[in-house]
Each structure stands twice: as C-alpha cells, then as structure tokens.
Homo-oligomer: A and B are copies of this chain.
Amino acid sequence: MIEKKLEVAMLYDIYHPLLTDTQKNIMDLYYNHDLSLTEIAEEVGVSRQAVYDHLKRTEKLLCDYEEKLKIREGESRRSRLIKEATSNLESLKENRETIIKIKEILEQL
C-alpha cells in the first residue's frame, strides 16, 4: 500500500503539469500534505466518496500518461545505467581529475 502510494506520488511529480487545478489540489492534499479523505472532503467541501472517486480517476489518468510516455520508466532505466557506469569508473585509477569530471557529468544526467 505504501509502495503503491509512493509510485503514484512519483507519477504525480512527473505528470502534474497535465492535470487540472482541481485534480492537482486534491492530489496534493492527499499525497504531499498527507490529509485523510475525510479531511480533504471538509477542506474542499464535497463528500468523502467524491474525494475518493476523484483520487481514483486522477491516479488512473497518471498511470495512463505513464503507459503512453514512459517518462518514469526511462528515469529508472537511466538511473540504473548511471550507477553501473559510475561503478565502472570507480575501478579506474589513472587520471583521477578526468574521472571526477566524468562522474560530475553523470550526476547531471
């Protein structure tokens, strides 16, 4: 459950610019401010069920965006490859200055 919430939060972080203000507001209260459904319902002035439905629909939307654009998948893949390249770099002893420079570049990727 926590893992699923973390995954949705990461998708929200990437795709929130594609959401409406209302979608962003409810997602933000739930995922970033950690409010309960009841608390959000009171804050926004709708029923708890409406908040629940809204969250479910927005989560599905975020998953659909990821299925189509795969930004998160690309980020995970690159993160693995950068770790692998960095670990290979660590094994080189010659010319530390250049190696440090390459590692700095990799950190920006």
Stretch at the interface among A32-40, A42-50, A86-94: A86-94
| Residues A84 and B69 in contact, CB atoms below 8 Å apart | no
Q: Which residues of A contact B (CB under 8 A)?
A: 14-15, 17-18, 65, 68-69, 71, 78, 81-82, 84-85, 88-89, 91-95, 98-99, 101-102, 105-106, 108-109
| Residues A92 and B91 in contact, CB atoms below 8 Å apart | no
Task: State the oligomeric state as a number of copies.
Answer: 2
| Residues A93 and B91 in contact, CB atoms below 8 Å apart | no
Least CB separation from A69: chain B residue:
B17
Give which listed residue, B71, B98, B109, contacts A91 with CB less than 8 A.
B98
**Once bound together, how far apart are the Cα atoms of A59 and B88, in whole Å?**
43
